[in-house]
Chain A
């Protein structure tokens, strides 16, 4: 009896956690009047793929470009962080040099500064370096990742010293030892870092918001945010922006291993009396 109660509570929780995704996915296949009249219904009537068609064809929504930009930034940031963090992590964990502990302490200290204070000066730095409105300017600031350095340092600390010593005896230099001997041994940490970096940079919003103002460089998050916050008053491309959101989400979550297929799908379309009235 008690068990049934426990499962019921958990199941109810699971429904609450999944419902927003499921409802929005279903809604993306509804027509506008249907969505307004039956927000909770799980069966679109009639079934409509209009929003998806418009997402692919409407010139007002440069979806392919947003997607491409998101992918480019995400891949560059992920690869860049892996390299930078693995280098620094090794330097901080294993190489002996003067000032090492001070540097590590310093990194931990600056990491604790709230991100909100960095928005304006990041914009300023990027402009001073002539990197504002450029891919480089979008990627480089995102490579700053104290958490990742910390993660890699801890991983390198666990590698037995003997492994490096035998490599040195065999005549390998520091770089060679790092690349072909030690790095393969911290693969799990690298994998974790890759997943975290990919997810983090795919979802990145504020960092990119102050790095570009040019539609050519818009990523999915930037494009969607502009569409929603800017167009909400006008309401013109409402169904479109909702379908687009579906894609932001799907790509972001889909990269993570082990997610149920159904969860990768997600929403599109509708709601808001005032808004709907204005679309017509």
Chain B
């Protein structure tokens, strides 16, 4: 009797959460797959029939058919690839450095420094994007700072040139002519645009605080005797950091990089507010492209197909990262 009452209570306690999860998480996951198989313009009810079922056509246009859509998608993947490659290592390294610095017990004002470094992480992504939009404007503070050093800053959010392009100068003819997945080879290798670089700076700046807290928590859980043993063995500070602390923090590094990878592949807010994919589509990301196609152009099927493809990409990359860095080494 009591057991049955407890069992009933268990279900009752969990029901509100389960209903919400079912309606707004589980159902949407299934619906995303369903919508990606439709040619749905967002008006009629896609569950009642009457909306053309097109099978894998949306995916075909996205992945195998050379056209505007695939070019846009390839561009967004290219942009985000550079974004991830620069932002993830930068935010991880910065977070680690900050954590080690503010974890120093001899440091005065530790709480102050922690608060300062964490502060950007609690701000609204929309608000902070607007701040950066104006910091990086042609007459903004960043260019003002550069001018102090005699550098003429670019008009950041109007500059589509890639960083490698700026370094290497004019592209060789054959790279322009070779096309890989709808983009020229040159497009693939020319690096993130100046505009995208500003977005990368913003994201590194706003995420390093959160990741710093994760490193801090891990650092405070480290057994002290290991560090002491190394100290007795005559290891320098730098050696202890590299040979003792860093390997012990491997699980945290793995966590931070995984979280970083997952979130950077989905960059949306910043692009929505700052650039809408401009200039010359060099800040276009798959998440923004998906939103734009669906809610902007009314091509919800295409938008859903982009989102699903992106999700698959993220899952594969997370899996690959775990195989490479995770198991057996953490």
Contact = CB atoms under 8 A, between A and B. Distances in A.
Interface of A: 6, 9-10, 13-14, 17-21, 23-24, 27, 35-40, 83-85, 87-88, 90-92, 95-98, 100, 103, 107, 110-111, 113-125, 128-129, 140-141, 143-144, 146, 149, 174-175, 178, 199, 202-203, 205-206, 209-210, 220-221, 224-225, 228-229, 241-242, 245, 248-249, 252-253, 256, 258-260, 263, 266-267, 269-276
Given A10-B101, A87-B13, A98-B7, 17 more contacts: A6-B101, A6-B107, A17-B120, A21-B131, A23-B135, A40-B148, A90-B13, A91-B12, A95-B10, A96-B10, A110-B25, A119-B307, A120-B290, A203-B124, A229-B272, A269-B134, A275-B137
Contacts, number: 276
Contact of A87 (B14, B23, B135): B14
**Interface residues of B, dominant DSSP:** helix
Contact of B144 (A40, A114, A121, A122): A40
Contact of A117 (B6, B10, B143, B307): B307
Contact of B124 (A17, A84, A249): A249
B157 to A, nearest CB: 8
Nearest to B126: A221
Give 5 nearest A-B pairs by CB, closest first: A91-B13, A97-B10, A121-B28, A271-B137, A88-B17
A114 B310 contact: yes
With a 10 A CB-CB cut-off, give which of B3, B120, B265 has the most chain A CB atoms: B120
16 contacts: A23-B135, A39-B141, A39-B143, A88-B14, A114-B314, A116-B287, A120-B290, A121-B28, A128-B45, A205-B126, A210-B295, A248-B126, A256-B122, A260-B115, A266-B127, A273-B155
B311 A259 contact: no
Contact of B266 (A90, A91, A115, A120): A115
Given A17-B205, A124-B46, A224-B126, A116 B290 contact: yes
Contacts of B300: 120
Given A96-B7, A146-B21, A205 B124 contact: yes
A199 B304 CA distance: 29
A176 B31 CA distance: 39
A113 to B, nearest CB: 6
Interface of B: 3, 5-14, 16-18, 20-21, 23-32, 35, 42, 45-47, 98, 101-102, 104, 107, 112-113, 115-117, 119-120, 122-135, 137-141, 143-145, 148, 155, 158, 205, 262, 265-266, 268-269, 272-273, 276, 286-287, 290-291, 294-295, 300, 303-304, 307-308, 310-311, 314
Contacts of A40: 141, 144-145, 148
